[in-house]
Amino acid sequence: MIQVKNLHKGFNGQEILKGINYTFERGKTNLIIGQSGSGKSVFLKCMLGLFKADKGTIEYDGKPYSTFSDEEQRELRTEMGMLFQGGALFDSMTVEENVMFPLRMFTKQKKSEMLARVNEVLERVNLEGNGNKMPSEISGGMQKRVAIARAIVNKPKYLFCDEPNSGLDPQTATVIDNLIQELTVENDITTVLITHDMNSVLEIGERIAFLKDGLLAWKGTKEEIFKTDDASVTDFVYSSNLFQKVRKAQLKGL
Amino acid sequence: MTYLHSIGEYFLMLKGVFGRMTKGSVLKNLILKEIDDLIMGSLGIVAFLSFFIGAVVAIQTALNLNNPLIPKSLVAYAARQSVILEFAPTFISIIMAGKVGSFITSSIGSMRVTEQIDALEVMGINSKNYLIFPKIIAMLTYPFVIAISMFLGIAGAYSAAVLGGFVNSDQFISGLQDEFIPFHLTYAFIKTFLFAFILATVPAYHGYYMKGGALEVGEASTTSFVWTSVVLIITNYAVTQLLLS
């Protein structure tokens, strides 16, 4: 569980996050949605400790992360996994070396044990047999799955995903969404996922936080988001033609 | 103010580099890889340049010795002094600022652009130590490159002077030994160590703190070369003033 209390963050005198209070629950996919510029990425980077909050606290299972020193934060980060928007795979390493990287850095396992774990997670993300390929030799969707494998290989307690579906076709995006949700439930981890993609909301939005202008404008579930009358949320959710048609059908009682 | 900010940021980066250390077994492999990339990969161009620079210095000196009262052995003396004091340590370091420096800036800059540095940080790794410390250690072997450069520079001078018929072999050897001051070698290697540190850290700073995309990586490499050269020249002046004057 991650608890965020009264989080403020600004740059050059401009306040980006204006006092966010929210709790991310364990064993669930917690989505952060909102328009571009609403503060989602800053919020995520504050939670990861890549940005230092101006005010407020962030607690990981009761541990006051935001008040930790840089070294203490690094220690806790070994319990986190992160899926970056572009994958952020190390391009000088093979797929296998990328996935093995956290194990090499933080465990004292023998190479055979590490290889066994790497093969296990590669199989879990349906990439068995691709260990010797370089990141540049595989597709964008496969790169995302390698990044997921790397994020979960060291059995993290917390998984963060920054727009995992950007640049992917709808079919691959669904595969990635489902994979994230399955891993969350299987490993009972706290997953935080930033997205613009309403399909993701429909697929895996167990808990949703809607940010607007640096504030938490709405929170709820995927069932609730399509029933809310909150104008700021409906403007965002029904901005696409497809969802506008769904909305009209809803209003007509179809 | 921008310069002061950059200087402060550079020293904070250095503090971070010597902060939480990367796991020893991983670090060992990184250092060996950096020695291969930065040092071994530069030997060819250093050898080529050194040999021909030494040759040109010998020819230029010989062609300018018209006074019969000046001994021919001065060709070797001038080549030795030029190569040991300046051409090998300083000139080769400026070349390395272009080759090795640009490589360091662009490789770290590309990692910044593609969020690989953020990925390291999120994993709990001290990215400054992981990326920059192995380069500093690898560059500690840089004096070997300069020693090779000195040897080949003098060999080039010998080839050009003797084979070109400007002096005979005995005159050249005699000039080479004439008024040799061992401290000049010490001076050359002291500044080589300082240059090695500059060559590893100034380009790393430009790569690590760059912002933007692919275009900015190119700009950072160019800026890195300019600033590394400036710092090398200023350090060269300061060390020479301190040790030789």
Is A84–B115 a contact, with Cβ atoms under 8 angstroms apart? yes
- Which residue in this structure is represented by tokens 């989505």? A31
- Could you tell me if A78 lies within 8 Å of chain B, comparing CB atoms? yes
What is the reported pLDDT for A98?
Answer: 94
Residue type for B179, please?
A: E
Q: What is the pLDDT along chain A (254 residues), one digit of tens a residue?
A: 899 999 999 998 889 999 999 999 999 899 999 888 888 989 999 998 888 889 999 999 888 888 888 778 888 888 899 988 888 999 999 999 999 999 998 888 899 999 999 999 898 888 888 899 999 999 888 898 899 899 889 888 999 998 888 877 888 788 888 888 888 988 899 999 998 888 878 778 889 999 988 889 889 888 888 788 888 888 887 776 666 666 667 666 65
In a domain, B2, yes or no: no
Residue at a domain's end among A155, A187, A203: A155
CB nearest to B115's CB, from A78, A86, A106: A86
Is residue A146 situated within a structural domain? yes
Does B186 fall in a domain?
Answer: yes
Classify burial at A108, counting beta carbons within 10 Å of its beta carbon; exposed 0-12, middle 13-18, buried 19 or more. Answer: exposed
Chain B residues touching A80 at Cβ < 8 A: 122-124
For residue A5, what pLDDT is reported? Answer: 93
**Backbone φ, ψ for residue A220 (5° rounding):** 170, -155
Mutate to test the interface with A, among B29, B123, B129, B130 (most CBs of A within 10 A): B123
- Asked, for residue B56, whether it belongs to a domain, the answer is yes
- Whether residue B185 is contained in a domain is answered as yes
Tell me, yes or no, whether A148 and A54 share the same domain.
no
What are A106's two structure tokens? 């933080």
User: Which residue from A78, A85, A86 is facing B123, i.e. has the nearest CB?
Assistant: A78
Domain match, A7 and A72 both: yes
* CA distances for B94 relative to B31, B35, B60, B213, B242, angstroms: 23, 19, 22, 27, 21
In a domain, B5, yes or no: no
Does some domain include residue B224?
yes
Chain B within 8 Å of A254 (Cβ-Cβ)? no
**Same-domain check for residues A144 and A160:** no
Supply the pLDDT for residue B129: 96
Tell which residue, A28, A30, A23, A31, has the closest CA to residue A6.
Answer: A23
> Which domain covers residue B235, as residue numbers?
23-244
Specify if A54 maps to a domain: yes
Final residue before a domain boundary, out of A155, A180, A208: A155
Range of the domain at A132: 91-155
Q: Do A88 and B115 touch (CB under 8 A)?
A: yes
Both A103 and A70 in a single domain?
Answer: no
Task: Give the CATH number for residue A197.
Answer: 3.40.50.300
Q: Number of A to B CB contacts under 8 A, please give it.
A: 57
- A103 inside domain: yes
Overall number of domains in chain B: 1
Domain membership flag for residue B17: no
ipTM exceeding cut-off 0.90 for this assembly = no
Lookup: tokens for A208: 């949703």
The structural domain count of chain A equals 2
Residues A187 and A67 in one domain: yes
Instruction: Return the higher-pLDDT residue of B146 and A214.
Output: B146
- Predicted pLDDT of residue A23: 93
Judged by CB atoms closer than 8 Å, whether chains meet at B122 and A105 is answered as no
Does one domain contain both A163 and A68? yes
Cα–Cα distance for residue pair B150/B134, rounded to 1 Å = 26
Q: Which residue in B104, B122, B217 has the most chain A C-beta atoms within 10 A of its own C-beta, making it the best mutation to test that interface? A: B122
| pLDDT (0 to 100) of residue A254 | 59
B4 belongs to a structural domain: no
Q: Which helix (H) or strand (E) holds B74?
A: helix B74-82
Least confident of A45-49, B29-33, B223-227: A45-49
Per-residue pLDDT band for B197 (boundaries 50, 70, 90) equals very high
In whole angstroms, how far apart are CA B163 and each of B160, B166, B167, B187? 5, 8, 8, 31
In a domain, A181, yes or no: yes
- A38 and A127 inside one domain: no
Give the pair of three-digit tokens for residue B204.
Answer: 């790393």
CB contact under 8 A, A48 and B123: no
Out of B19, B115, B123, the one facing A102 most closely (by C-beta) is B123
Residue of B25, B26, B122 with shortest CB distance to A48: B122
